[in-house]
């Protein structure tokens, strides 16, 4: 199976997890969190949803393979179609895809560091990446950006349930609402019978949007030129990494 077929089949397979009518009650809104200073200052040439392999390289990134799935939904559980989901994270050595990153001399050149995915009709997204690792001052996390109609509507972060550094992380501790905190702290669970020790995590992103908001409007994410010029860039919360 070649890489393209793998990504397509994995995304289709993960979409079968969704069950219609699963969310009968109002869901806790996924809390906005700081973008931090390490959103890529130059996007990689390869921006697909497989962060382990750059283009058709034969050398994968170092780290624990993690299959990251989820849906983007409204507070009532309605799927958000054509949401543009971005993720970015540091590599196994704690280095980001950014000129100002720490550990730059050890940066894993085989780790993409950034990926994007357009949600399907069920709001589903899928990424193949590595389990996030800690670096000085921060517990392990993955950054998320969600855009609709060319505008960033949510910036947040995903954390590992049970990681001992969560309790010392200032950004995690700033989450006072228990339901919102549970929303962004998710279990990274071993995949049974995986020969490579792969993990799986499911992260449901709940937007503060009304269910009747149109799902069919043309949608695209924030482009490189938009980021460079500041157009469509959201205001960052005061907290910084």
Q: Is position 115 within any domain?
A: yes
Q: Is position 22 within any domain?
A: no
Q: Is position 234 within any domain?
A: no
For 84, the domain range is: 3-16+33-229
Report the domain count for the chain. 1
Q: Does position 210 have pLDDT exceeding 70, yes or no?
A: no
**Range list of β-strands (E), 53-176:** 65-74, 84-88, 114-118, 124-130, 141-148, 151-160
Q: Is position 142 within any domain?
A: yes
Q: Is position 25 within any domain?
A: no
Q: Is position 23 within any domain?
A: no
> What confidence score (pLDDT) does residue 73 get?
96
Q: CA-to-CA distance for 90 and 140, rounded, in angstroms?
A: 9
Q: CA-to-CA distance for 33 and 141, rounded, in angstroms?
A: 12
Q: Is the dihedral of CA 230, 236, 238, 239 positive or negative?
A: negative
Q: Would the pTM count as exceeding 0.85?
A: no
pLDDT per position as a tens digit, 22-64: 544 688 899 999 999 999 999 988 999 999 999 888 899 999 9
Q: Is position 88 within any domain?
A: yes
Q: Does position 117 have pLDDT exceeding 50, yes or no?
A: yes
Mean pLDDT value across residues 88-100: 97
pLDDT per position as a tens digit, 130-175: 999 999 999 999 999 999 988 999 999 999 999 999 999 999 999 9
């Amino acid at each position: 199976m070649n890489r393209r077929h793998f990504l397509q089949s994995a995304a289709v397979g993960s979409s079968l997890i969704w069950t219609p009518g699963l969310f009968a009650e109002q869901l806790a809104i996924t809390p906005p969190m700081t973008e931090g200073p390490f959103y890529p200052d130059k996007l990689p040439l390869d921006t697909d949803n497989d962060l382990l392999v750059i283009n058709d390289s034969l050398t994968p990134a170092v780290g624990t393979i993690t299959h990251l799935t989820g849906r983007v939904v409204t507070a009532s559980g309605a799927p958000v179609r054509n949401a543009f989901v971005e993720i970015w994270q540091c590599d196994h050595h704690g280095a980001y895809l950014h000129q100002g990153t720490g550990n730059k001399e050890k940066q894993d050149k085989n780790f993409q560091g950034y990926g994007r995915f357009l949600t399907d009709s069920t709001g589903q997204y899928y990424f193949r990446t590595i389990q996030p690792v800690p670096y000085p001052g921060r517990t392990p996390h993955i950054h998320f950006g969600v855009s609709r109609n060319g505008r960033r509507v949510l910036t947040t972060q995903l954390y590992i349930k049970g990681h001992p550094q969560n309790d010392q992380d200032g950004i995690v501790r700033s989450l006072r609402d228990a339901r919102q905190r549970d929303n962004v702290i998710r279990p990274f669970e071993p995949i049974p019978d995986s020969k490579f020790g792969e993990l799986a995590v499911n992260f449901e992103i709940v937007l503060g949007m009304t269910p009747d908001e149109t799902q069919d409007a043309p949608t695209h994410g924030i482009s490189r030129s938009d980021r460079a010029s500041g157009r469509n860039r959201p205001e960052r919360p005061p907290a910084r990494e």
